[in-house]
């Protein structure tokens, strides 16, 4: 790596980190309760008077929600970057592969069977378990098609079926303990609680770290599975490990914010021209980029039509759908 | 013959969104709330089993129209700072800020009012929003969603406990018992009584048939009629299909006047598939009342009972 590339990457990470802090500040400040950025800063430095309305809103509602948005964005975008390496195509993410749909079904079941007082934990657990299970299973029916759009189409079909099953499940169970159908189709961060965040965020951090650690191996996959095996990458063990890590990240993110599409597609797509395809850079950069995008879209989701919230997935799909069309045309041209 | 009775004597309701109607789909509720004895003073255990410590009732947010009206009737109206959109009465309450729809609550919209007490019912949701408001240190008291007169009276008693207005609650309950009895039909509904289908409509795309566990159910019974929706086995509300309506075979159809207006009056309603094929459609026995009045099982319920009873008498279907 030349010096210019290194400094360019350093500059990118610096700028992205600043931007992330800015959107986090905006996310804490904006909402139905008027809280100025000065109040946010004095609260963050512990100078806010005890029991004040803004303090209670910040620590009880907006901080867990903002942390959830950061984690969801990081999980989806880092998973997207890793999946694109595994499938050897930029036209894929956890949503298109059906992993989000599978995790959604797990989360819905988790809320249904959860013992009293442990609904968040059970939902995260079941989301992660189904995410891993489906991630590993998907390997069976997409491995032969890696590098082509056929594998993605298989994933889309499976994802649509899983979403339909989740919908049927939610409507038939008809329980107040289970989030609404909209949560499992278009997502929402409005239910983010400390219980969810405490369970899901560490899982996201750990799984993104695993993906980052596997970065060089994922780079080799770009040469094809046979070639990368000859270069010493244990495809049979490492690819399932990566898919399991993706299952954990996506399962935790779906428990936090429901099924939100296209984040894993758009973010790596935007970053790759700037930083190149080296996964040791792409995966952390995608995590930061994804966090920025989801926090920003969540701000729009709860302010555009306040006090009514727009499902965040409607916003990401509004942008992501056209990008997908453009991407497929480019790939098949 | 086409009979259409609109009630100018009743207060005109603001148009409510469709979701507000869904908010009236009541779940069957068994557990009532109570001020637990032995606990610290001001601790109230709601229908969700959560004990809230109610010490300050100076800034109240109410999340359902009937709750707002009862709080006003019990003399605590001046403490109400915001309501949900189903509140249409009294006038000063209707002018207060709205925090959204009780069933699709936005945490921040409620907290922005800096309330010291939030009163909702079992229709209030989502649970995550209730949890977040509680986490912010604001007590949220959940009462039953009443769909019978007896649960309504019980709710008045609970509000009396919460607002420290026990005597007022008792007086209001006695008054309402008398008013409802006086306003209603002489004879209770029997096999020979006319059947009424309450069809909630906001236009041709939103048509719901109400049945058991709905606020309309006790009002129809008090007016000496049978509830066609309940008789055909509807619990809560179901989307109207022509078949369901024809099967329910109501003698009379009651609709919200706002919805009837949107449909373009009685001819528009009769144009909906299935309506004209019912006995009510054939005879033109269609009644309309503002939804904010007829769909609130609150302090003005005797007016709704009186309006329906009198119209049924005018139609000659009850003595």
Give B250-271 pLDDT, tens digit per residue: 999 999 999 999 888 888 888 8
Distance from CA of A61 to the nearest CA of B (A): 6
Inspect the interface and report whether the beta carbons of B99 and A307 lie closer than 8 Å. Answer: yes
Inter-chain touch A60–B131, beta carbons under 8 Å = no
Q: Is B235 on the interface with A (CB under 8 A)?
A: no
Mean pLDDT, rounded, of chain B? 85
Cβ distance B126 to A180 less than 8 Å, yes or no, reads yes
Out of A294-298, B28-32, B189-193, B248-252, least confident range = B28-32
In a domain, A57, yes or no: no
Specify if A86 maps to a domain: yes
End-to-end CA separation in angstroms for chain A: 31
**pLDDT band at residue B272, thresholds of 50, 70 and 90?**
confident
Strand arrangement of the beta sheet that strand B60-62 belongs to: B80-83, B60-62, B117-121, B140-143
**CATH number of the CATH domain containing A190:** 1.10.3470.10
B114 touches chain A (CB under 8 A): yes
Which residues on chain A are in Cβ contact (under 8 Å) with B124?
none
**Which chain A residues contact residue B114 at CB under 8 A?**
53
Q: Which two tokens stand for residue A284?
A: 């952390």
Q: Assess contact for A275 and A264: CB atoms under 8 A.
A: no
Q: Does A181 touch chain B (CB under 8 A)?
A: no
Which residues in chain A are contacts of B108 at CB distance < 8 A?
A: 31-33, 57, 61, 302, 307
Spatial CA neighbour of A285 closest among A295, A298, A275: A275
pLDDT greater than 60 at residue B36? no
Highest mean pLDDT among A128-132, B25-29, B35-39, B199-203: A128-132
Give the distance from residue A307's alpha carbon to the nearest chain B alpha carbon, in angstroms.
Answer: 6
Q: Taking the CA atoms of chain B, what radius of gyration do you get in angstroms?
A: 20
Note which residues in 249-278 of chain A have CB less than 8 A from chain B: none
With a cut of 90, say whether residue B313 has pLDDT above it. Answer: yes
HSE at residue B169, side-chain half, CA atoms within 13 A, is 18
- Write the residue in B100, B114, B131 that is nearest to A308 by C-beta: B100
Q: pLDDT band for position B39 (50/70/90)?
A: very low
Residue A115 located in a structural domain? yes
Tokens of A282: 């792409």
Asked if residues B77 and B71 have their Cβ atoms less than 8 Å apart, the reply is yes
- A330 near B CB under 8 A: no
Q: How far is B101 from chain A (nearest CA, A)?
A: 9
pLDDT, position A330: 87
For A92, the token pair is 């894929």
Domain that holds residue A261: 74-332
Residue of B nearest to A61 (CA): B132
Considering only the C-alpha atoms of chain A, give the largest distance between any 2 of them, rounded to a whole number of Å: 63
Answer yes or no: is A323 within a domain.
Answer: yes
Q: What percent of chain B has pLDDT over 70?
A: 87
Of B99, B108, B128, the CB nearest to A57: B108
The closest of B47, B53, B118 to B81, measured between CA atoms, is B118
For residue B95, is pLDDT > 50? yes
A194 touches chain B (CB under 8 A): yes
The reply to whether A35 falls in a domain is no
Higher pLDDT, A286 or B17: A286
Neighbouring C-alpha atoms within 13 Å toward the C-beta of B200: 28
Handedness of CA A85, A90, A93, A98 (dihedral sign): negative
Strand partners, B200: B208
Our CA-based measurement puts residue B121 at a distance from the nearest CA of chain A, in whole angstroms, of 13
Pairing of strands B51-53, B104-105: unpaired
Residue of A176, A177, A308 lying closest to B106 (CB–CB)? A308
pLDDT digits (tens, 9 = 90+) for A188-197: 998 888 999 9
Please name which of B217, B247, B295, B304 lies closest in space to residue B16, comparing C-alpha atoms.
Answer: B295
From B303, B308, B261, B305, select the one nearest B10 (Cα to Cα): B303
* Residues in B touching A309 (Cβ below 8 Å): 106
Residues in chain B within 8 Å Cβ distance of A193: 128, 131-132, 135
Q: In this complex, is the C-beta atom of A31 within 8 Å of any C-beta atom belonging to chain B?
A: yes
Q: How far apart are CA A86 and CA A55, in angstroms?
A: 45
Q: How confident is the model at residue B59 (pLDDT cuts 50, 70, 90)?
A: very high
Predicted pLDDT of residue A3: 60
Give the residue from chain A lying closest to B122, CA to CA: A176
- Do the Cβ atoms of B131 and A193 come within 8 Å? yes
Report the pLDDT averaged over residues B117-146: 92
* A305 located within any domain: yes
Q: Tally A–B CB contacts below 8 A.
A: 61
Q: Are A60 and B135 an interchain contact pair (Cβ–Cβ within 8 Å)?
A: yes
pLDDT at B23 over 60: no
Hey, is the C-beta of B182 within 8 angstroms of any chain A C-beta? Answer: no
> Is some CB atom of chain B closer than 8 A to the CB atom of A219?
no
In this complex, is the C-beta atom of B55 within 8 Å of any C-beta atom belonging to chain A?
no
Instruction: For residue A136, give how far its alpha carbon lies from the nearest alpha carbon of chain B (Å).
Output: 32
Per-residue pLDDT tens over the stretch A248-264: 999 999 999 999 999 99
Looking at residue B165, its pLDDT comes to: 94
Query: How many structural domains is chain A composed of?
Result: 1
Query: What token pair was written down for A78?
Result: 């880092």
> Given this model, what pLDDT does residue A146 score?
67
Instruction: Give the Cα separation of A288 and A18 in Å (integer).
Output: 10
Three-class DSSP labels, chain B = CCEEEECCCCCCCCCCCHHHHHCCCCCCCCCCCEECCCCCCCEEECCCCCEEECCCCCCEEECCHHHHHHHHHCCCHHHEEEECCCCCCCHHHHCCCECEECCEECHHHHHCCCCCEEEEECCCCCHHHHHHHHHCCCCEEEECCCCCHHHHHHHHHHHHHHCCCHHHHHHHHHHHHHHHHHHCCCCCCCCCCCEEEEEEEEECCEEEEECECCCHHHHHHHCCCEEHHHHCCCECEEECCHHHHHHHCCCEEEEEHHHHHHCCHHHHHHCCCCCCCCHHHHHCEEEEECHHHHCCCCCCHHHHHHHHHHHHHHHCCCC
Phi, psi torsion values for A161, nearest 5 degrees: -65, -45
Task: Please give the pLDDT value at position B13.
Answer: 36
Instruction: Give a yes or no: residue A67 inside a domain.
Output: no
B6: confidence class by pLDDT, cuts 50, 70, 90: very low
The more confidently predicted of residues A37 and B8 is: A37
Q: Which of B106, B125, B136 sits opposite A309 (nearest CB)?
A: B106
**A171–chain B nearest CA distance, Å:** 14
- A156: number of CA atoms within 13 Å, CB side? 9
Q: List pLDDT tens digits, range A275-320.
A: 988 999 999 999 999 999 999 999 999 888 877 788 999 999 999 9
> Residue A151: what pLDDT?
84
Check pLDDT > 80 for residue B205: no
Whether residues B99 and A61 touch (CB distance < 8 A) is answered with no
Kindly state whether residue A220 falls inside one of the protein's structural domains: yes
Per-residue pLDDT 10s for chain A (333 aa) are 556 778 889 999 999 999 999 999 999 999 888 888 988 988 888 887 767 888 888 888 899 999 999 999 999 999 999 999 999 889 999 999 999 999 999 999 999 999 988 889 999 999 999 999 999 998 887 766 667 788 888 899 999 999 999 999 999 988 878 888 889 999 999 888 899 999 999 999 999 999 999 999 999 988 888 888 888 888 889 999 999 999 999 999 999 999 999 999 999 999 999 998 899 999 999 999 999 999 999 999 988 887 778 899 999 999 999 999 998 888 887
Work out the number of other CB atoms within 10 angstroms of the CB of residue A148: 15
HEC assignment per residue over chain A: CCHHHHHHHHHHHHHHHHHHHHHHHHHHHCCCCCCCHHHHHHHHCCCCCCCCHHHHHHHHHHHHHHHHHHHHHHHHHHHHHHHHHHHCCCCCCCCCCCHHHHHHHHHHHHHHHCCCCCHHHHHHHHHHHHHHHHHHHHHHHHHHHCCCHHHHHHHHHHHHHHHHHHHHHHHHHCCCCCCCHHHHHHCCCCCCCHHHHHHHHHHHHHHHHHHHHCHHHHHHHCCCHHHHHHCCCCHHHHHHHHHHHHHHHHHHHHHHHCCCCCHHHHHHHHHHHHHCCCHHHHHHHHHHHHHHHHHHHHHHHHHCCCCCCCCHHHHHHHHHHHHHHHHHHHHHC
**Would you say B307 and B10 are in contact if contact means Cβ atoms under 8 Å apart?**
yes
Contact across the interface for B111 and A177, Cβ inside 8 Å: no
Cα-to-chain-centroid distance, residue A269 = 15
B136/A contact by beta carbon, under 8 A: yes
Interchain contact A73–B (C-beta under 8 A):
no
Mean pLDDT of B232-244: 86
Test B106 with A56 for CB contact under 8 angstroms: no
On whether ipTM exceeds 0.85, the answer is no
Query: What does the pLDDT average to over B181-200?
Result: 93
């Amino acid at each position: 790596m030349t010096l210019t590339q290194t400094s360019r990457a350093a500059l990118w990470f610096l700028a992205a980190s600043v931007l992330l802090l800015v959107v986090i500040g905006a996310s804490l400040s904006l909402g139905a309760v008027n809280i100025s950025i000065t109040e946010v800063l004095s609260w963050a430095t512990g100078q806010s008077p005890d029991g004040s309305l803004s303090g209670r809103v910040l620590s009880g509602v907006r901080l867990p929600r903002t942390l959830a948005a950061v984690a969801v964005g990081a999980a989806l975008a880092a998973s997207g970057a890793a999946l694109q390496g595994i499938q050897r195509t930029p036209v894929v993410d956890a949503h298109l592969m059906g992993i989000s749909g599978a995790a959604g079904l797990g989360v819905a079941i988790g809320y249904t069977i959860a013992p009293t007082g442990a609904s968040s934990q059970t939902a995260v657990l079941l989301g992660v378990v189904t995410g891993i299970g489906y991630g590993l299973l998907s390997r069976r029916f997409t491995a032969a098609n890696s590098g082509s759009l056929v594998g993605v189409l298989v994933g889309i079909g499976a994802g649509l079926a899983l979403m339909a099953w989740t919908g049927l499940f939610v409507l038939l169970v008809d329980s107040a303990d289970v989030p609404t159908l909209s949560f499992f189709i278009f997502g929402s961060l409005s239910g983010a609680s400390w219980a969810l965040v405490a369970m899901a965020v560490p899982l996201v951090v750990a799984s993104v770290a695993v993906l980052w650690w596997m970065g060089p191996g994922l780079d080799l996959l770009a040469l094809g599975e046979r070639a990368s095996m000859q270069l010493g990458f244990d495809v049979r063990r490492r690819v399932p490990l990566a898919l399991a890590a993706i299952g954990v990240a996506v399962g935790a993110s779906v428990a936090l914010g429901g099924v939100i599409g296209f984040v894993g597609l758009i973010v790596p797509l935007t970053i790759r021209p700037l930083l190149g395809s080296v996964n040791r850079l792409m995966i952390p950069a995608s995590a930061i980029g994804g966090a920025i995008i989801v926090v920003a879209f969540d701000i729009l989701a709860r302010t555009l039509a306040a006090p009514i919230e727009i499902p965040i997935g409607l916003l990401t799909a509004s942008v992501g759908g056209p990008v997908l069309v453009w991407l497929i045309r480019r790939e098949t041209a | 013959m086409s009979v259409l009775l609109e009630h100018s004597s009743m207060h005109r309701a603001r148009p409510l969104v469709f979701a507000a109607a869904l908010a009236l789909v009541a779940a069957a509720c068994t557990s009532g709330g109570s001020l637990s004895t032995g606990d610290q003073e001001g601790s109230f255990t709601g229908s969700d089993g959560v004990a809230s410590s109610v010490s300050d009732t100076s800034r109240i947010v109410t999340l359902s129209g009937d709750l707002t009206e009862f709080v006003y009737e019990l003399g605590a109206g001046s403490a109400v700072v915001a309501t949900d959109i189903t509140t249409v009465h009294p006038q000063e309450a209707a002018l207060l800020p709205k925090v959204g729809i009780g069933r699709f609550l936005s945490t921040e919209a409620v907290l922005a009012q800096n309330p010291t007490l939030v009163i909702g019912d079992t229709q209030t949701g989502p649970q995550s929003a209730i949890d977040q408001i509680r986490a912010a240190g604001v007590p949220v008291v959940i009462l039953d969603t009443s769909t019978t007169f007896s649960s309504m009276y019980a709710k008045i008693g609970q509000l009396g406990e919460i607002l420290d207005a026990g005597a007022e609650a008792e007086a209001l309950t006695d008054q309402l018992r008398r008013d409802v009895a006086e306003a209603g039909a002489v004879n209770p509904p029997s096999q020979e009584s006319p059947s009424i289908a309450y069809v909630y409509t906001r236009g041709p795309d939103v048509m719901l048939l109400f049945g058991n566990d709905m606020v309309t159910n006790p009002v129809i019974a008090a007016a000496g009629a049978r509830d066609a929706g309940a008789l055909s086995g509807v619990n809560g509300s179901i989307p109207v299909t022509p078949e369901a309506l024809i099967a329910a075979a109501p003698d009379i159809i009651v609709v919200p006047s706002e919805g009837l207006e949107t449909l373009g009056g009685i001819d528009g309603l009769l144009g909906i598939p299935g309506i004209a094929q019912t006995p009510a459609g054939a005879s033109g026995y269609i009644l309309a009342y503002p939804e904010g009045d007829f769909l609130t099982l609150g302090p003005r319920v005797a007016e709704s009972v009186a309006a329906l009873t009198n119209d049924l008498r005018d139609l000659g279907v009850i003595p």
